[in-house]
Chains A and B, each alone.
Chain A
């Protein structure tokens, strides 16, 4: 069964520093991959998704993620963190031909001034 692993339940960076949030999936057949962000007391919002084609996907708010089949990874990055990026981030996967979205446990990002 598909599983999604996010390394690090909490990540802390300084404002202006690189943000790197890690995500790995388990299936041998690459799924469709998503990153969502959840701000306090709000619903999840899609940041970006990978379906087919270019492996480097650009999303909203300056985030991007790269799909690496050889590493079964879909890490999320942002070159320069902003205070407003503080939130919880979820990586998710959907197997091709399926509808069940499997979410990782989430990574809470803290941004220090």
Chain B
């Protein structure tokens, strides 16, 4: 079956522009997670969704970052007024339910470069 898909795979933007990153989870997965992987660093948790609600937004780096999920499926991560330090790979994952022991299935990521 289809895995987690993300688009675009690569995005180059100019500083100050807004970007939208899309994640399409595995069908039937109710939980969805966003992570950021910066060069030379591990993965940083950003936000997770259970259904359409995001109980924990504490991982978002600043108020320029926002995420939404509609219909319990596709999610969009939006970065407003991008800065060079936003350059990273943004990974999305989904799991059947939002439980600690559930296996998360990762997408290939969106590589964002802010010039």
Query: Chain A residues in contact with chain B, CB under 8 A?
Result: 4, 32, 36, 41-46, 49, 51, 90, 92, 94-106
Contact = CB atoms under 8 A, between A and B. Distances in A.
Nearest to A102: B45
B103 A100 contact: no
B42 A94 contact: no
Contact of B106 (A41, A43, A99): A43
A37 to B, nearest CB: 11
11 contacts: A4-B42, A41-B108, A43-B4, A43-B105, A90-B43, A94-B100, A98-B100, A99-B48, A99-B99, A102-B45, A103-B43
B101 A100 contact: no
A45 B104 CA distance: 8
B62 interface: no
A89 B8 CA distance: 25
B25 interface: no
Nearest to B45: A100
A22 to B, nearest CB: 14
A107 B9 CA distance: 24
A92 to B, nearest CB: 8
Contacts of A97: 100
| Cβ-closest 8 pairs across A and B | A43-B106, A103-B43, A105-B42, A44-B106, A103-B42, A94-B100, A51-B101, A43-B108
